[in-house]
Chain A
Amino acid sequence: MKHGIGAVLLALLAAAGAADPLPARAPEIASYDIEVRLTPGTQRLSGRQRVTWRNTTPEAVGELWFHLYLNAFRNSQSTFVRESGGQLRGDRMPDDGWGWTEVTSIRTAEGVDLAQGATFEHPDDDNAEDRTVWRVPLPEPVPPGGTIELEMTFEAQLPRVFARTGYFRDYFLVGQWFPKLGVYEPAGTRGRASGGWNCHQFHANSEFYADFGRYRVAITLPQRFVVGATGKRVDKRDNPDGTAVHVFEQADVHDFAWTASPRFVEVKARFSGATDVTAAEYAEAAALLGRSLEEVRLSDVDVTILMQPEHMRQAERHVAAAKAGIKWFGLWYGRYPYETLTVVDPAYGARGSGGMEYPTFITAGTTVLFNRWPLDRLRLPEEVTVHEFGHQYWQGMVASNEFEESWLDEGFNSYATGKAMRQAFGPWTLEVLGLRVSSAELPRLGNSVERMFDRVRTPAWRYSSSNNYGFNSYARTDLTLRTLEGLLGERTMARVMRTYHERFRFRHPSSEDFYAVVDEVAGRDMRGFFAQAVERPGVLDDEIAAITSARVEPPRGVFGEGPARRTISAREAREQAREKDAAGGRLWRSTVLVRRRGEVVLPATLRLEFEGGDAQVMALSEAEPPAGSVDVERAGLMPGGAGGEPWQGRFKRVEVVTPRRLLAARVDPEGRHELDVNRLNDARRVEPDPRAATTWSARLVFWMQQLLALAGL
């Protein structure tokens, strides 16, 4: 009996476990136990690390590939410096601020020296000078399921902060700092034909990709430094020599970064799943996602903000933004599973280290100018905090390959950040002196052909410029996902994103994995959409090119034959028209010319608006609407839907004869096509309305008068 109850309980527990589709733990593949000493003044790191790599693939692996990222800053010949031209994200590389790293020893746990035979590789270009990828042949392959342990020592010189990592005076942001394994991908992974290490060089426009594991890092540095890092602080002890050791641990992550500065002011806060989210918000999220309340329940998180003292007025803003991220990303995509989150406010002069994501550790960025009116409503500190936090989901946990498919993290995260910002802080991201720009508008500002539409799915370093990389990976993907949401509906889209996150948390999905989830959750084939919006560089731009509406003229000329032949003169026709008008009016013949200025074809509708408030909506499909019809219902929106194949041509002329005059016509009247590069031309009316022009001209007169006063008049 007792036994029986136990079995039932076990079954219930198992069922409860299965009910929560969020995986609790990441596979432990690459784990690091590191001791590192920072010597301020020389900005040197000396490290010792024990690396444990587990072969979870079905292939025997005979070599290990490491990233030695700091060598990107070694000299002017590195691929990173060549590609960036010494300039990245608006920052210039300082003169003589070089950085490098050297592995001084590498042995197996059994003491076999592996340094002999190790070589620098350059898989992405033919730059023999690049030393950011290091290949270490093994004496014997690691069999499937096998594990290898290595003991390594390394020396590193931090660069002066310019791109993400380095020092500035006594501020240190230490990222990409230890010899780090790439990802061994067996054949079949993300479309690979044969197995091998995915270990790219450090490029100007690309970020990172690594396997999950457990990190334990002991950092030794002078006692005056305030230290923050990935994970949870498990120990801090002072040494007699004036240094202190800070020990951090974190499992289920794929990177480790840390920061140190005596100037940091530590602000502590706690996100509470019980009080920071209302019952109604839980219920709403559960209903939206079709999940149980338990599944959307959030856990508590210790939040640490390391602020620059001069930015303390903005400390609460950073806390609010971090909490907003934990809340909304958690509710929508799955609870934040870590116990800590550390947000770093970078030092002035080290802006290049801001706006960066590492597991449980992010860098934001602000300025004293945002402390007070009139710039305090520029919500850029919030935006960057929420965005970098969002990477815990899109890159941190759903660990897509940032080198090869940057849209899966930057683009997904831009989309999710925009949604969270609107939820938490309202529509306006920028408000200054009465001018307001919304978070929905921001990505649209760059959405033009000028920014060079490229294939969104382009390896990050192959984009023609960093502008091009930025536009296509961030803004355009945001708009692509918003367009997808328009096509699928908010609920389905929310479930798509949730399912994708749940299924690929702690894994390495590719674009195809996302496409498959969309098809599955939406219950229809959306490959045509992705083929156009992600895999090809096409532009979407539908416009109403012309519109007319005029009374139907009574017939004129010669009618009938033989004795019945008679001629209706122009005067008689006018007479007839007048009589008809007196009797209740003639019909109106209206024409609309729809023009497709881009190549992308999405299912679209056309809405005709008539005098008196009548409107008529029709699908722009290959099938012609029934002749003479004035009440075509909105037909199916998708290929194969009731509206038939979407219209494929370039120009489409629509003509209707109606009792009412046509006022205006709109393509995509519901505003689903966020990706459309110009939405202003989506609608056109017959009679121009000068109001907007006159309002702005009146303002312009005032500004011209001020200009004249400045000139001395």
Chain B
Amino acid sequence: MWHATVEGFRAVSRERRLVLVLWLFGLALSLAAVFPVWRALVLALGPLPGADVLAERFSAEVVADLVELRPGLLPGIGAAAASTFALGLLFGLVFAGGALEVLTASDERPFAHRFGRGAFRFFGRFLRLAAIVLPVAAIFAALLAGPLFALAGRLRRESGAEWVAHGTNAAALVALGLVLLVALLVQDAARVRLVRTDQRRVRTALREGLGRVWRNKAAWFGAWGFNALVLLAAFAAYLALAEALPAGAPWVALALLQQAFVIARGALRVALLGAEVALDAAQAPAVLADPSLTEDVTTGLA
């Protein structure tokens, strides 16, 4: 796991442009989504001195009045967020394909060529992969967390044990998180398989990915866990710095800090992909890249 983690960070320093691409993708999409919101906000808030307080802090009272004055504003922001999320799902596939190709390809073609090649080549397969993983994960989540939530509700009504009821709710949330985490790790592993073997059969890759994660659980979860810890530390640092900004600091100061965090988060995402590639390589020598052989290796697991 440590080896893979180190490999991941090496990959970041080798392919810094991946972090840049990831950041620019996200920034462009976010700006495109927020621009119309900004225009609507300027129109709505600009002429109203009562809204100036929002430049300093959140004010529930002002927001409530604003919602009454402009009933379309909040739904508009909601729609912008929903469409951004949908685009994020799609571009996430594009980026994953490009990034994994960049990280695994050994040719000397320019970065843009390698990235574009991966993005186009694997988009369809990654999409099919997600179409399998997400519903299966949803079913697992419902099976696992559903009864726990129901139990928590029953405990709330029937038992006097407050901690137990809250604990059950928390356990249900943890179960949800675990299912999501497993699904994401398996999906990542399957993606690495697809890119390294360039096989067409998504289900085979998925089975192999599952096998990789299953056989080396500690390393896969460890790599993810370490990555998540560093992300948490970065977020804590961001919060501390944001808190330390003087009250009158211009919005640009906070915006710069935020972008620094977003870039750090992008670097960690790339580091995780790099670590996953390294984990996969450690488990599957290059010779196994022949699809017929991979099939053999994984049959026992399917």
Contact = CB atoms under 8 A, between A and B. Distances in A.
Interface of A: 94, 168-169, 171, 263, 308, 310, 347-349, 367-369, 434-437, 441, 444-445, 447-450, 547, 664, 666, 677-685, 688-705, 707-713
A685 B38 contact: no
Interface stretch (B154-162, B275-283, B294-302): B154-162
A711 B57 CA distance: 28
A696 B41 contact: yes
Contacts of A695: 54-55, 251
B84 interface: yes
Interface residues of B, number: 69
Contacts of A699: 254, 258
A44 to B, nearest CB: 21
B88 A688 contact: no
A689 B46 contact: yes
B171 interface: no
B46 A688 contact: yes
Given A349-B156, A441-B59, A696-B41, A685 B88 contact: no
A678 B61 contact: no
Contact of A678 (B27, B65, B81): B65
Contact of A707 (B60, B68, B81, B156): B81
B22 A713 contact: yes
21 contacts: A348-B160, A349-B159, A369-B166, A434-B58, A436-B57, A441-B61, A444-B61, A447-B64, A666-B49, A680-B66, A684-B49, A692-B53, A694-B42, A699-B254, A701-B34, A704-B29, A705-B27, A707-B84, A709-B262, A710-B88, A713-B22
B192 interface: no
Interface in B42-79: 42-55, 57-62, 64-66, 68-69, 77
A169 B160 contact: yes
Contacts of B87: 708, 711
A570 B183 CA distance: 75
B160 A168 contact: yes
Nearest to B162: A348
B88 A683 contact: no
B91 interface: yes
Contact of B42 (A349, A664, A693): A693
B33 interface: yes
Given A169-B160, A349-B157, A708 B29 contact: yes
Contacts of A703: 81
A349 B160 contact: yes
Nearest to A169: B160
Contacts of B64: 444-445, 447-448
Nearest to A450: B68
Nearest to A609: B49
B47 A684 contact: yes
B42 A700 contact: no
Interface string B79-123: 011001111110111011000000000000000000000000000
Contacts of B69: 678, 680-681
A688 B47 contact: yes
Nearest to A547: B47
Given A368-B162, A701-B27, A705-B262, 7 more contacts: A441-B60, A677-B68, A690-B46, A692-B41, A697-B34, A704-B80, A708-B88
Nearest to B164: A348
B149 to A, nearest CB: 17
Closest 6 CB pairs of A and B: A688-B46, A711-B88, A712-B92, A680-B65, A693-B41, A704-B30
Given A349-B157, A437-B60, A694-B251, A713 B162 contact: no
Contacts of A710: 85, 88
A348 B26 CA distance: 45
Nearest to B38: A697
B205 interface: no
A457 to B, nearest CB: 25
B55 to A, nearest CB: 4
B165 interface: yes
B265 interface: yes
Given A441-B61, A445-B60, A713-B25, A685 B47 contact: yes
A696 B156 CA distance: 38
Among A308, A680, A693, the most chain B Cβ lie within 10 Å of the Cβ of A680
B37 A348 contact: no
B193 interface: no
A693 B37 CA distance: 9
B255 interface: yes
Contacts of B49: 664, 666, 683-685, 689
A681 B160 contact: no
A539 to B, nearest CB: 11
B158 A711 contact: no
Which of B58, B89, B160, B262 is most buried by chain A, counting CB atoms within 10 A of its CB?
Answer: B160
A711 B42 contact: no
Contacts of A435: 58, 60
Given A664-B49, A710-B85, A171 B65 contact: no
A709 B158 CA distance: 40
Nearest to A665: B49
Contacts of B91: 708, 713
Contacts of B43: 688
A696 B66 CA distance: 14
B30 A708 contact: yes
A313 to B, nearest CB: 12
A635 to B, nearest CB: 24
Contacts of A308: 162
Contacts of A679: 50, 61, 65
B66 to A, nearest CB: 6
Contact of B85 (A444, A681, A698, A708): A708
Contacts of A547: 47
B31 interface: yes
Contacts of A677: 68
B196 interface: no
Contacts of A694: 38, 42, 251
Contact of B61 (A310, A445, A692, A700): A445
A664 B46 CA distance: 12
B57 A713 contact: no
B125 interface: no
Contact of A310 (B22, B53, B163): B163
A697 B37 contact: yes
A179 B158 CA distance: 30
A470 B39 CA distance: 37
A233 B157 CA distance: 33
Interface string B9-35: 000000000000010011101110110
B25 A691 contact: no
A613 B215 CA distance: 74
B212 interface: no
Nearest to B126: A712
A693 B46 CA distance: 7
A437 B64 CA distance: 12
A454 B162 CA distance: 39
Question: Most chain-B CB neighbours within 10 Å: which of A684, A705, A707?
Answer: A705
Contacts of B50: 679-683
A680 B51 contact: yes
Contacts of A713: 22, 25-26, 29, 88-89, 91-92, 95
